[in-house]
Amino acid sequence: MLNLFATGIPQEITAVLNNRDQRVELQNQLVADASQTQSVVALKLNIPGPIKNNADLTRLFLAGLAAFKQKLVVVRQIDWSKSTGPETFLIVEGSSLAIKKQAAIFEDRHALGRLFDIDVLIWQSDLQQVQPISRQALGQPTRRCLLCEQPAKVCARSRRHTVAELQAAINQQYQLFMETD
């Protein structure tokens, strides 16, 4: 069986946090630059454990990205391939709520969707910062765990599942996708 996590450079938490700070800066700029008819979308993988990027994870990411983009009118695309994981930022035509609905459908229904974190970003004037639109804003339930039916954030915070269990599920999901694609 394919092991997506067999190679790569283990990442320290400081690298992940530094990347998050850089991502926030870019997202703020993209939201400020987008027109009122455009939406800003940030895509990355939900990858547990220290290995966040390698050739196999990049292939997985690019396959999911291509599938997600099929129904979008992309005005601009910014690709990041960092040791902390592949990421892409899109400026697309369409309302933020409509794009978030498409993102939630992709995350829930596409063979690779559960492995992605797709945020549609808006300016929250009351908070004076860029924030992702939540699924709850669309009247949808929170995302479910990859391994059980609990909310994903609850399992992540409580560390209900081991990194090895989550990685095995990701490997299996990607293997099934590759066999049917």
Give residue for tokens 């870019």.
26
Q: What pLDDT, in 10s, does the model give residues 147-162?
A: 998 999 999 999 999 9
Count of CB atoms situated within 10 Å of the CB of 25? 10
Q: Which amino acid does the sequence have at 66?
A: A
Q: What pLDDT, in 10s, does the model give residues 20-44?
A: 999 999 999 999 999 999 999 999 9
- H helix runs in 12-158, sequence order: 13-33, 55-69, 96-109, 152-158
Q: What CATH number corresponds to the domain at position 72?
A: 3.30.70
On the question of pLDDT at 181 being above 90, the answer is: no
Domain containing residue 111? 13-141
On the question of pLDDT at 60 being above 80, the answer is: yes
On the question of pLDDT at 180 being above 80, the answer is: yes
Would you say residue 152 lies in a domain? no
Q: Which amino acid does the sequence have at 39?
A: S
**Count: domains in the chain:** 1
How many whole angstroms separate alpha carbon 144 and alpha carbon 150? 6
Cα 153 to chain centroid, rounded? 14
Would you say residue 1 lies in a domain? no
Q: What pLDDT, in 10s, does the model give residues 101-121?
A: 999 999 999 999 999 999 999
Would you say residue 108 lies in a domain? yes
Q: 51 Cβ partners below 8 Å, 6+ apart?
A: 5, 7, 8, 9, 10, 11, 57
Confidence of residue 54 (pLDDT cuts 50, 70, 90): very high
pTM, full prediction: 0.93
Alpha-carbon Rg of the chain, whole angstroms?
16
Would you say residue 173 lies in a domain? no
Confidence of residue 70 (pLDDT cuts 50, 70, 90): very high
How buried is 36 (Cβ within 10 angstroms: 0-12 exposed, 13-18 middle, 19+ buried)? exposed
Would you say residue 68 lies in a domain? yes
